[in-house]
Every structure is written in structure tokens, then in C-alpha cells.
Amino acid sequence: MPNASSPTRAPRPTAARPTTARPTAVRVARVAGLLALVAVVLLFPSLAADPFILSVGVVILSYAVLATSWNLVGGFTGYISLGHAAYSGLGGYATALLILRTGMDPWLALIAGGLIVAAIAIPVGIASLRVRGASFVITSIALVLILQLTFQSWHTFTGGSNGLRVPRPFGTEVLRPEQHERFFYLHAVLLALALLTWWLIERSRLGAGLKAIREDEDKAQALGVPTFAYKLTALVISAFFTALGGGLYALWFGYLDPIFQFSILVGTYMVLMALLGGVRSLFGPLLGAVVVGYAVEVFKSQYGDTQLHLVATGVLLGLVVLFMPDGVIPALSSLLNRRRGAASIREVSAEELAKQREEAAR
């Protein structure tokens, strides 16, 4: 116990206390941003100038669902799949065929189609997740090409090259603008579920294991992480949401073409959108979908069937890889953190520090 004769210790200098203010400000900013995003989504159909703009909004949300679903495996594990269109295409065809062949309710067919594709993803994952890197990329491309040829040739079951008409769930009495509005909100709900799933996984033990696989899979396995089981789980969840996105798009568009449904270009768009926004960010794929989806639709409307939209997306991908390899959102977050760090150097002056020491000594 110290007494009167004990030497007094010099008080430790105390730094400024922005620790409570900063996290609170960050939380407020995040909540405000989320509310603003929800408001934009809710008000977009009423603000759209014409049905074409509204249809572009549906396409962008469809891309956002697919990119977020892809990010459930690509962003967490680092396994780059260019053939994720296999799952969206299977989801579209499974939904349509369940309606046409069994007379199932369209919404039940949508859920059943997603579950069927998730079940198909299990043996596919068992076979493909045993390889890594470029070998995994080639395997994913091979899967989508095999499915494209199969569905293009299977005339008696899938309609072959002639495509497949999908019955509209709201019937013919609902006008096209109303169809767009309803499916816009349905895509928004599905996107919210995919984002919530990503958020929950990111904060779970599964998410920690998947991120360990992304950083160093061999080290994670040596530390006891069941790497194969975790990767397979992520792939199945990703395939389920991707299939739901493909099925919902099929119900909205009303027609399936195997060349488009099983296109490597669709899978490439998913990767580009996720990389553009940031694969390690919750809203990264959504931001990428807004930029890429809008740009693609504008190029198609302005230049028709030319391939300029492919050139533009290629240039955009190159710029992202060169200048923002982690994506737009992580780059902006890093910039803001650096600016805050530079500002925090001048938080306490020498006079203020001396005054704090005097107060502490009293």
C-alpha cells in the first residue's frame, strides 16, 4: 500500500478520446446509408420515367442477386468460378420445367428448382473442389459448356435451340409495366435475403473458416479447419441463391434460351461485378451490378448488337485490376481511414497534454 513517503509516479499522458465518437459516427453513417439504399429501392418504380427504365432496374437487381450469390463462394474462399451461369441456367430451366411438366405453382417451382440445383451442386462440388487455382476455373467453364450443349440438343425435354416459353405467374391480365414493378420488388427481396445470408456467414464460425481458406488453405487445414466441408457448404449455398436468381429472372422474362442461360459471359459478369465493388465487402457486388449492369444496358440500347459493351467491360475490368485491385468500396474505405489517421495526429497539442498531466497529478 502506498503511503505519504512513497514516491509519486508520474502520471501517464492520456491521449484524446475519439474512440467512442468515431465508432458511433461510423454506425450512424452506415445506418443512414442503409436507409438511403432502402428508400431508393422502394421509390425507384415510382420514379422511373418509362417501362424501359424500370426493366433496366429489374435487370440490375437480377445481376446484383447473381453477383452476391457468386460472392458467397468466390469472396469467402477465393475460388474464382467463371461457370456460375451453370447454376443460374439450371435454376431457370428447373423452375420452368416444373411448371410446364408438373403444373406446379410458379413460386413453389422456384423454391423447388433452387433446392434441386443445390442438390446437384453437391456432387459437382465434390468433384471440382479437389482442385485449385486455374484448374478450378477450367472445371467451372467446362461445366457450363457441357450444360449448354446438353440443353441445346435435348429438344424433347428442354426445347433445344428453339428455347422454352415460361408461363408468367401473374397471368396476361397484368400489363407489362406492372409486371416490371412486381418483379423489381421480388428481386429486391431476394437480394436482401442473399445479403443477409452473406452477413450472417461472415460473422459465423463458417465464415471464419472460409476466410482462413482464402488466406492460406494449407495452413487452415493444418490448424484443423475442415476445409473441404466448408468449401462444399459455401458452394451449395451459393448455387441455391444463384438458382433462385435464375429462376426469378425466367419467370419475369418469360423465355429461356440455352445459349444465353449457359453463357460464360454471364458468369464473367458476376465475377466482374463482385471484383469491381469489392469481394470482401457486403455491398460490393451490389455496387458492381449497378455500374456494370447499367453500362451494359446503355451500350446495348445505343449500339444494338455490336460488341462494344464487351470492350467496355474489358477495359473496366483492366482499370479495376490496375488501380483498385480490392474493389471500389475497400479502396474508398482505405482512403477515408488514411485521412482520419492523418487528422488524428493533431488531436492533442503540447499545451493540452501538459494540462492533462497537471489535472491527473491533482
Q: Using alpha carbons, select from 174, 175, 190, 177 the residue that is nearest to residue 46.
A: 177
Residue 239 CA to residue 358 CA, distance in Å, equals 63
Q: Which residue has the higher pLDDT, 6 or 350?
A: 350
- The DSSP symbol for 14 reads P
Residues 43-66 pLDDT 10s: 999 888 788 889 999 999 999 999
Give the CA dihedral 323, 328, 333, 335, nearest 10 degrees: 30
Residues 226-276 pLDDT 10s: 999 999 999 999 999 999 999 999 999 999 999 999 999 899 899 989 988
- The DSSP symbol for 154 reads -
Mean pLDDT for the chain overall: 85
Q: Using alpha carbons, select from 1, 114, 268 the residue that is nearest to residue 276.
A: 268
Q: Which residue has the higher pLDDT, 347 or 51?
A: 51
Task: Supply the angle between the helices 328-344 and 284-303 in degrees, to the nearest 10.
Answer: 130
Mean pLDDT of 29-33: 81
Q: What pTM value is reported for the model?
A: 0.84
DSSP states of 315-350: HHHHHHHHH-TT-HHHHHHHHHHHHHHHHHTTSS-H
Residue 181 CA to residue 217 CA, distance in Å, equals 44
* pLDDT given at position 172: 67
* pLDDT given at position 318: 79
Residues 95-150 pLDDT 10s: 999 999 999 999 999 999 999 999 999 999 999 999 998 999 999 999 999 999 99
Residues 180-222 pLDDT 10s: 999 999 999 999 999 999 999 999 999 999 999 999 999 999 9
